[in-house]
Chain A
Amino acid sequence: MGEHAATGLEKWLMDKTGKDIYFWNFIALMVLTVIEVAAVYIDWVKVFDTTLENAKLLTWAILIGVGLIKVYGIAGFFMHLKGDPFIYTKTAVFPLFFVMLMLYGIGLSNPGGVDELPSWCLPPWLK
């Protein structure tokens, strides 16, 4: 949220609508939230005459996609990573590497990687 001159899209929005990028970011976040809720309630099985598995996959893809756009909107504009020195973006991205490792290593790996650890790796009460 630092100070910087409006350029590109920000300047265009300001000139055309008289509202700044924060306002439009706020509106976009609201609309995206409505899309998220709608994606869960729409019966994709009937809409596309497909299986439940495919329908859920579509819902999942919409939730992930919309979520990523919302994260970009909040971090990029409200937290102003787009206007601040790049070192802050690097600071923000750094822990994401470890989060990815956790999501893969804990969340998506072979369950055996969690439940069947060797004894030296288990806490005392599980040995």
Chain B
Amino acid sequence: MSANSHQESPWMGSVGLGLLLLGVAGGVLTLSFIGYSVTHSHAIWTGGRVATILIGLYGMMGVIAGLVNSSVEAGGGDDHGSDDHGHDAYGHHGSFSPIIIGVGTMLFLYGFVESYTILGFGLLVIFLGAFNWWREDYPNDGKDEMKSLGQPYKGQDVRKVGLWVFLMSEVLIFGSFFSSYLRMRMGWSTHWNEECNSMLESGSALPTCSENYVIVASEYVTHSFMTLLPGAINTFALILSSYTVVLALKSAKAQEFIPSKNKWIRMWMPDRRRAVRNNLLATLALGTLFLIFKLIEWEHLIYGEDFTVKSSLAGSIFYVSTGAHGFHVFVGLIFLCFFCFKAHNDGWQPENSQSIEYFGLYWHFVDLAWVAIFPAFYLY
């Protein structure tokens, strides 16, 4: 699994896959344009453009990560599992890449307020940090997993502990969104108000029964089955994607991979490599679907209902909360590309499957956050 040699570098395969995806992105754009021309459906056109951008981004990442990483020795020169270098048992996975990504994220967020140049530069730093991280992780065979030495986590994998602490900081971020929303919602008169609701039923226009009446996103979303459909599909897609991550981990973790008795599943996943890769690809596809439907829904709310981030506090908190969640899905998809690429090259074995477990923890957390966001912002 070593990727040290320039000639043998598997990263060139990443370039090929990236070019293929760029072609697919072009095809999707063409099909969505044809679909729009025939049906005049804005949902098809919006969904097609979002799908094109995401698939194109995966392709570009494949090409750039492949070119960058194939030109440098993998793993910073480390050969995991070799005793020749005299490393201690805990020395292999210390990486500066997360710090680089952290600095990039800071610049990216600062750029939101100050300037798009800084925002773009932040994105560049994030991607460079990610590519470097992947290059370092690619040869990781799981033999030198760092263990925590101090209490209360003594003996636990450092990466797992770190990820849990990270997730808990995320809980606080989403907790602040919810408490703000609750505070505002408590002061608003909405369709949950009996007086307003009776006027709603009698009149065709939205009610003006109270000066404090605020139209919240759920009023538009639950207006009909079709307007609720994107959010409902997204909920099922995220739950299903959580399950496919679990299946990928189970396949990678099994000491002896046993193909399914079901012939259709066996055809799809006849061996460990394809079982892990295809389950991860299914997760990638479902996550992409989530973002596509998310933006179709936003497009309807913004252009169809004039419900924007600036139109009211209800719009502001809705887009900030669901946008922050969507951004988490997006970040997960970026990292999932690397997991799929490594799986394609048979890089996941029982010994290093814990990396999929840690990615799964992040992905399940994103699902968990949606479990709270969906009823609070879409149904309530």
Residues of chain A touching chain B, judged by Cβ–Cβ distance below 8 Å, are 1-3, 22-23, 26, 29-30, 33, 36-37, 39-41, 51-53, 56, 60, 63-64, 66-67, 70-71, 74-75, 78-79, 85, 87-88, 90-92, 94-96, 98-99, 102-103, 105-108, 111, 114
A-B interface, 5 closest residue pairs, ranked by CB to CB distance from nearest:
A107-B182, A99-B175, A106-B179, A102-B179, A26-B243
What separation, in Å, do the CA atoms of A51 and B164 have in the docked complex?
44
**In the complex, are the beta carbons of B179 and A103 less than 8 A apart?**
yes
Could you give 8 example pairs across A and B, Cβ below 8 Å? A1-B246, A22-B250, A37-B228, A39-B379, A56-B192, A63-B375, A79-B360, A106-B176
Closest residue of chain B to A85 (Cβ to Cβ) is B156
CB pair B197 A103 closer than 8 Å: no
With A1-B360, A37-B228, A52-B194 as known contacts, state yes or no: A88 contacts B164, CB within 8 Å: yes
Beyond A91-B168, A106-B176: 6 further Cβ-contacts under 8 Å? A23-B243, A52-B192, A52-B198, A87-B156, A91-B164, A94-B168
Beta-carbon contacts under 8 Å, B177-211 to A: 178-183, 186-187, 192, 194, 197-198
**Min CB gap A40→B, angstroms:** 5
Give the shortest distance, in Å, between A15 (CB) and chain B (any CB). 17
Cβ–Cβ < 8 Å partners of B186 in chain A: 107-108, 111
Question: Quick check: A36 and B178 within 8 Å, CB to CB?
Answer: no
Chain A min CB distance to B135 (Å): 26
Q: Write the nearest CB–CB distance from A117 to chain B, whole angstroms.
A: 13
- A75: min CB distance to chain B, Å: 6
CB distance from B359 to the nearest CB of A (A): 10
Interface residues of B in 158-184 (CB under 8 A from A): 160-161, 164-165, 167-169, 171-172, 175-176, 178-183
Contact, CB under 8 Å: A87 / B152: yes
Interface membership of chain B positions 261-289, coded 1 if the CB is closer than 8 angstroms to chain A and 0 otherwise:
00000000000000000000000000000
The A-B contact count (CB < 8 A) is 129
Expressed in whole angstroms, the minimum distance between the Cβ of A112 and any Cβ of chain B is 11
Q: How far is the CB of B172 from chain A (nearest CB, A)?
A: 5
Any chain A CB within 8 A of the CB of B220? no
Q: How far is the CB of A83 from chain B (nearest CB, A)?
A: 11
In chain B between 15 and 62, which residues have their CB closer than 8 angstroms to a CB of chain A? Answer: none
Tell whether, in the assembled complex, residue B360 and residue A78 are in contact, meaning their CB atoms are under 8 Å apart: yes
From B160, B172, B374, A95 is in contact (CB under 8 Å) with B172
Q: Which residues of A contact B249 (CB under 8 A)?
A: 1
CB atoms of A102 and B246 under 8 A apart? no
Output the nearest chain A residue to B169 by Cβ-Cβ distance: A95
Partner of A79 from the list B182, B222, B361 (CB cut-off 8 Å) is B361
Q: In whole angstroms, what is the CA distance A102 to B181 when docked?
A: 11
Q: Give A102 to B246 CA distance when docked, in angstroms.
A: 33
Contacts A1-B357, A63-B380 given; does A103 touch B175 at CB 8 Å = yes
A114 to chain B, nearest CB (A): 6
Question: Do A74 and B368 touch across chains, with their CB atoms under 8 A apart?
Answer: yes
Contacting pair B375 A36 (CB below 8 A): yes
Task: Please give the distance in Å from A69's CB to the nearest CB on chain B.
Answer: 10
Report which B residues bind A (CB closer than 8 A). Answer: 152-153, 156, 160-161, 164-165, 167-169, 171-172, 175-176, 178-183, 186-187, 192, 194, 197-198, 222, 228, 232, 235-236, 239-240, 242-243, 246-247, 249-250, 253, 357, 360-361, 364-365, 367-368, 371-372, 374-375, 379-380
Least CB distance, A104 to chain B, in whole angstroms: 8
Closest Cβ neighbor of B361 among chain A residues:
A79
User: Are B364 and A52 within 8 A (Cβ)?
Assistant: no
The answer to whether A51 and B172 touch (CB under 8 A), given A78-B242, A103-B182, is no
Cross-interface CB contact of B361 among A1, A3, A94, cutoff 8 Å: A1
Closest Cβ–Cβ distance, residue A62 to chain B (whole Å): 9
Q: Which of B175, B365, B371 contacts A67 (CB 8 A)?
A: B371
Compute how far the CA of A78 lies from the CA of B283 in the bound complex, rounded to whole angstroms: 14
Determine the residue in chain A with the shortest Cβ distance to B197.
Answer: A52
A78–B380 touching, CB < 8 Å: no
By a CB distance below 8 angstroms, the chain A residues around B246 are 1, 22, 26, 78
A54 to chain B, nearest CB (A): 10
Q: Are B176 and A102 closer than 8 Å at their CB atoms?
A: yes
Which among A64, A67, A94, A114 is the interface contact of B183 at CB below 8 angstroms? Answer: A114
Q: Which residue of B lies closest to A54 (CB)?
A: B194
Cβ–Cβ < 8 Å partners of A60 in chain B = 380
A107 to B174 Cα, complex, angstroms: 13
Q: Which residues of B contact A87 (CB under 8 A)?
A: 152-153, 156
A63 to B371, CA, bound (A): 10
Give the CA-CA distance A7 to B164 in the complex, in Å.
Answer: 25
Residue in contact with B242 in the complex, picked from A26, A39, A56, CB distance below 8 Å: A26
